[in-house]
Structure 1
Amino acid sequence: MTSFEQNNPFDSPYDTLDSTQKEIRVCSMTERSSENHIDLLLHTIRLERSNGKFKCLSYAWGSPSKVRHVTVNGTPILVGENLYNLLHKLRKLGLGHNIWIDAICINQNNEEEKQPQLNLMQEIYPLASEVFVGLEGCSPRTTGAEEIFAASVSGNSLNEMPLMRRSPDEIKEACREFIMIFESDWYTRIWTLQEVYLARK
């Protein structure tokens, strides 16, 4: 996993997590977030008490040379450009609350914290109410491609998709866009398939 914060010049916004209690942080955008800035607050929850009360974001970190600033608990931190753009999309959709995002919710400068948090991923994703997939650069333009993707990771029959009742041209276009997912940075990231397969929704 690439870290964008190893040389972060700013103070840390992170409190200590209690790994014995399976604590994680989730983040929420504040009213100070805008078109030009993302402002986040972190709060700590225990996994065993959090069933369905938070969401997750699955995305590709992208190039470590392309970074942007966001504010977390009043402190600027560096995040990848992919994540920065996805945060703005979530803000516009009104989905910027109670989200677990690895690059933000794990202290990337604290090696003692990182590994226990990564070990919890197999519990974090199944307990999330939803997992948002950030297909930055290849977002499907049709709902058909999204239907194929959802069916492929859930194991549902493709024949049951509403897409199969559409015209041959629409099916062909949906399949073409679905193939684009496998050419994206998201698909090549080692963690992402695990994240989606663990998700309940």
Structure 2
Amino acid sequence: MTSTSFQYSDISSNDLRLLKPLRFASDELHFAIFRFSRDEAPPYTAVSYAWGDEKLTEKISLNGRILAVTPNLRTCLHYLSMHAEDANWEYIWADAICIDQTNIMERNSQVRLMHRTYKEAVCVSVWLGLPPLTKKQSKSASYIPKLFSGSEAPFSWQDHMAELAGRPYWTRFWVIQEFFLGQD
């Protein structure tokens, strides 16, 4: 990864940027970013997620340049990249990267089209984040086979559902639009 920061080029309101995961051999994430006409965009997944703390950042490589993203988005992109070969999409759309957040005119224009971005995606990938792995939760994973065999597990499903429902993702107004507009 070079030490130079990624620079956006302008796009029209009828265009969108999409990320293509590149093969990686280390923990570094490498992507190519492309501009497509919305009418001719290839199959992509649109990511629905919570940005997380914007003061905390991690680096990814975008066209060989450095781009800082939130840890939550980086982790999401890591998992999507690992499964991209088996998916029915080649590209990823994530608002924090595919929209130039420093360009107010572009941001406003693209935000007005987000319903279309999610609707035209072949799937919407909802990222709730990694679970906080407490001792109790890691132990509970070993009981999953017992649940299917009819044995009782020594933990409360209500605790796990409450933790899942308490994730920052659900505090975002847009989540309903994002995952209901997706085709898959």
CA RMSD, aligned part only? 2.9
2:51 to 37, 55, 61: 61
CA distance in 1, matches of 2:102, 2:130: 28
1:79 aligned residue:
69
Give 1:191 deviation, angstroms: 2.2
Give 1:173 deviation, angstroms: 6.7
Total equivalences in the alignment: 164
Q: Specify whether residues 56 and 173 from structure 1 end up closer, same or farther in structure 2 by C-alpha distance, changes over 3 A only.
A: farther
1:127 aligned residue:
120
TM-score, normalisation: structure 2: 0.76
1:93 aligned residue:
83
CA distance in 2, matches of 1:67, 1:107: 16
Are 1:196 and 2:179 an aligned pair? yes
Segments of structure 2 that go 5 or more residues without pairing to the other structure are 138-148
Q: What SS class does the counterpart of residue 94 from structure 1 fall into? A: helix
2:34 aligned residue:
43
Q: Which amino acid aligns with 1:198?
A: L
1:13 to 7, 22, 36: 7
1:183 aligned residue:
166
Identity of aligned residues (%): 25
Give 1:47 deviation, angstroms: 1.6
1:29 to 4, 8, 21: 21
CA distance in 2, matches of 1:106, 1:89: 21
1:153 aligned residue:
none
Give 1:195 deviation, angstroms: 0.6
Q: Which amino acid aligns with 2:68?
A: L
Q: Which amino acid aligns with 1:26?
A: L
